[in-house]
């Protein structure tokens, strides 16, 4: 089981290294969305600082949504996804490896870039640890939840709109708790409550999302 997990994770990372658009497009989108706000609003530091938590989190959510549709698409088109389903290995473990690989090539770059984006929006440096912690838990949860929608719509040629309709309502709690953690840190308040809720959502997603993804993929070939 561990060998299968590592093999799928390694394979997806190698494929992503050859397809730079898989991780560059969400990253460029994230940078463009965040940097457009100072240009559109102006140099008002207080206003930028006030909207920074929401802007950073909405941009991260949309960038994740942009990348999630392709999570299973190429594997479905070339038949390798069917081989995973029929391999006899625990499908929940295999899809968890694919989601982790997806987060490493999309969520982790967003996480590493977020301090620079926070500085552009003139967020206080003391709020950046809360931003990083919330994005760490939140983007992993978004990837797991989004993978459920990606699995349900993988057989549809143009399932992007349906995918957004399916998973955006499930993204809202993560967005609320993530942005509120940064807002609380910016105001000098404790953020343990918001981060605890994000951690709970992340644990629930890790526990149940692979089961839902595996069931969705099995339905396609039944």
CA separation for the pair 187, 207 (Å, rounded): 33
CA separation for the pair 154, 152 (Å, rounded): 6
pLDDT, average across residues 148-160 = 82
Whole-number pLDDT of residue 222: 65
Domain count, the chain: 1
Q: Give residue 52's domain range.
A: 2-220
Closest alpha carbon to 153 in 162, 140, 145: 162
| pLDDT, tens digit (0-9, with 9 covering 90-100), for 94-125 | 999 999 999 999 899 999 999 999 999 999 99
Handedness of CA 129, 175, 24, 154 (dihedral sign): positive
Q: Does the predicted TM-score (pTM) go above 0.85?
A: yes
DSSP characters over 115-160: HHHHHHTT--GGGHHHHHHHHHHHHHHHHHHHHHHHHHTTT-TT-H
């Amino acid at each position: 089981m561990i060998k299968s997990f590592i093999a799928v994770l390694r394979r997806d990372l190698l494929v992503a290294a050859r397809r730079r658009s898989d991780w560059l497009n969400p990253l460029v989108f994230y940078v463009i969305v965040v940097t457009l706000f100072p240009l559109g609003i102006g140099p008002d530091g207080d206003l930028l600082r006030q909207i920074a938590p929401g802007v950073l989190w909405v941009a991260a959510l949309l960038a994740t949504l942009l990348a999630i549709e392709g999570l299973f698409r190429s594997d479905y088109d070339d038949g390798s996804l069917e081989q995973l389903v029929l391999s006899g290995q625990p499908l929940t473990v295999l899809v968890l490896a694919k989601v982790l690989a997806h987060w490493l090539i999309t969520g982790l770059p967003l996480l590493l870039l977020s301090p620079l984006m926070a500085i552009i929006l003139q967020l206080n440096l003391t709020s950046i640890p809360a931003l990083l912690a919330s994005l760490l838990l939140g983007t992993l949860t978004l990837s797991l939840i989004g993978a459920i929608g990606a699995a349900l719509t993988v057989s549809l040629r143009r399932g992007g709109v349906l995918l957004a309709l399916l998973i955006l309502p499930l993204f809202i709690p993560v967005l609320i708790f993530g942005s509120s953690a940064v807002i609380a840190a910016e105001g000098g308040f404790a953020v343990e409550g918001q981060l605890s809720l994000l951690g709970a959502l992340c644990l629930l997603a890790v526990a149940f999302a692979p089961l839902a993804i595996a069931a969705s993929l099995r339905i396609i070939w039944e």
